[in-house]
Chains A and B, each alone.
Chain A
Amino acid sequence: MSVEYSPQFHRVARAVLRWTMTYTRGLDASIAAGRQDEIASDLHEHAAWASETGVAPRRLAWSIRLRALRGVPADLAWRSAMLQQVDPGVRLALRAEAALLTAVVMIGVLDAGLGGFVVFRLVRALVIGDVQGIPDAALGAPVLGLIALLALPAMAGPRQRAWAALVLAVPTGLIFAAAGRALYVVSASAVLLVNRLPWWEPATYAIGLALAFVCVTAAIHWLHLPARNRAGRAAIVHGEGVPRA
């Protein structure tokens, strides 16, 4: 089978085109289309050359991945230069959109990190014999952290981003209080803190609900974005069409 039709090439080509769609989002349509088509052409030519010279699919995929990764700073610099030509209102909207996405992703990372930390403390407590088994009160945070971890990759796709943010709102609202309860079982410091701060639980719920509100707001915003803006322009890959000028 030719390397052009190998699953390794198709996977990496899709990833590179997705990245190209990401950094050309919001730019002038002809500029964005030009860059996307040029990258699609490059990917095809690279695969055709690999096929002629007998390069293995895995090696081709690795080479393409490296070329894409090494070019990321230049891609971002190019985007920044192109954004200077965009209307200031549009530029502001793009920056606000990027800030919202960053905020929601950071909340997801925080949730997942908190869940991971609780798992680490639980395992440690089991290993050193602080606890004999995992108490029910300690199970909530790892489960909520896992939900956040599963929702995070979905944030990458513009189509499912809104739903991922909605899902993320659930663990975000609950995980801080759940982590507090779990750590109360396995951490002496948490016991001290909880006993000294009787209002810790309402405070954790307040923080969680505030962050969950950010997730829900972002989800509503993304649900109301026109489908054209969310999906962007359909990428053109070999066999699925010919790029426009």
Chain B
Amino acid sequence: MPRRRPGVLLPLELSILDAGATLQAAEGSFFGFALAQALAGRDGSALLAHGTLYKALNRMAVAGLLEAEWEAPEPAEAAGRPRRRLYRVTGAGEAALRAAERAATTPSSVTRPVIA
């Protein structure tokens, strides 16, 4: 498999940034399963596989596009569930998303060959 160029985001990563930003606007942060649901709801696909989802989240956190922290124990204990790992889209993530959106809407600067 060819290595991707540094700084180039995969479609999955762009979807995560987009869906994550939407969830974050409503809830303040998001967690893995909520994100999987949001992604499935957007394109009507199946829930993202565990490995694919958490590998991507890990990679994006390492790249500084997301920040991650475990939620405080109290709300989890009160709700009787395991603690969630909460993610937030960082400034760098937002900038990367905006740049990708701009690139998608801007017409290509490549000159078309002129047919004689």
Seen from chain A, the residues whose Cβ lies within 8 Å of a Cβ on chain B are 16, 34-35, 37-42, 44-46, 48-49, 63, 66-78, 236, 238, 242-245
Contacts and interface: CB of A to CB of B under 8 A. Distances in A.
Contacts of B81: 41, 44-45, 48, 238
23 contacts: A35-B54, A38-B32, A41-B31, A41-B33, A41-B83, A41-B85, A42-B50, A42-B53, A44-B81, A44-B82, A45-B31, A45-B84, A63-B46, A66-B46, A67-B46, A67-B47, A68-B50, A68-B51, A71-B53, A71-B55, A74-B49, A75-B50, A236-B82
A45 to B, nearest CB: 4
Contacts of B70: 37, 243-245
Given A68-B51, A243-B83, 19 more contacts: A34-B85, A35-B54, A41-B85, A42-B32, A42-B36, A42-B50, A42-B54, A44-B81, A44-B82, A45-B32, A45-B33, A48-B81, A66-B49, A67-B47, A70-B51, A70-B52, A71-B55, A72-B51, A78-B51
B33 A42 contact: yes
Contacts of A46: 33, 47
Interface of B: 31-34, 36-37, 46-55, 58, 69-70, 73, 76-77, 81-85
A56 B31 CA distance: 24
A67 B45 CA distance: 12
Contacts of A238: 81-82
A73 B33 contact: no
B105 to A, nearest CB: 30
A238 B46 CA distance: 24
A34 B73 CA distance: 15
B12 to A, nearest CB: 10
A41 B19 CA distance: 20
Nearest to B51: A71
B55 A75 contact: yes
Contacts of B73: 242
A244 B34 CA distance: 20
Given A34-B85, A42-B33, A242 B77 contact: yes
Tell me which of B31, B53, B83 has the highest count of chain A C-beta atoms within 10 A of its own C-beta: B83
A75 B48 CA distance: 13
A40 B49 contact: no
Contacts of B85: 34, 37-38, 41
